Amino acid sequence: MNTYIALLRGINVGGNTSFPMADLRALCNEIGLEDVRTHIQSGNVVFRSDRSEKELIEKLEQAIEMKKQKNIPVVLRTLEELELVIKSNPFPDGIPSQVGVMFFVDPLPKDFLEGVNLTGPEEVVLREREIFIHYPNGMGRSKLKLPMSHIGTVRNINTISKLYALSLRELEIDETANRK
């Protein structure tokens, strides 16, 4: 059984889509996800499942759309993939709250960042399914505009690290239960 981290786009941000985390956990349990945990109010879910990433994304997006009457994109990463994101952070000296990672479902084209106007102090690095962004003046002050041809969702390194730690706790709990 795999540990997954689901990142929902636009939940409880800017007052657009309110979704209490207790309701999100209940919905995840209803569709058969196991050991469901949420982190903060912005649509971060840790759970376990034997299903494939594609199947899980479809199930989650359909269930959320039925519940909220709104299409809310979901991006998934396994525990191992999230660990790789943390380890491959190209801005390790940046303040964690000022380093964002934009997560995408599909791999991005190599030329995705061509034409991005970097007139501010931000630095941007493209990986296969993520874009790392260093916001030295903070995310809220940035004027950076990325191409909207792909839908992604951003989390800062603090949040990613906490989700990773929460996922590890789930794995430890499962391993302890299996030993008994």
Single-letter residue type at 51: R
Domains of the chain: 2-79 (3.30.70.1280), 82-159 (no CATH)
Question: What pLDDT, in 10s, does the model give residues 99-126?
Answer: 999 999 999 999 998 878 787 899 999 9
pTM to 2 decimals? 0.89
Q: Residue 13: is its pLDDT beyond 70? A: no
Selection from 36, 157, 167 nearest residue 103 by Cα = 157
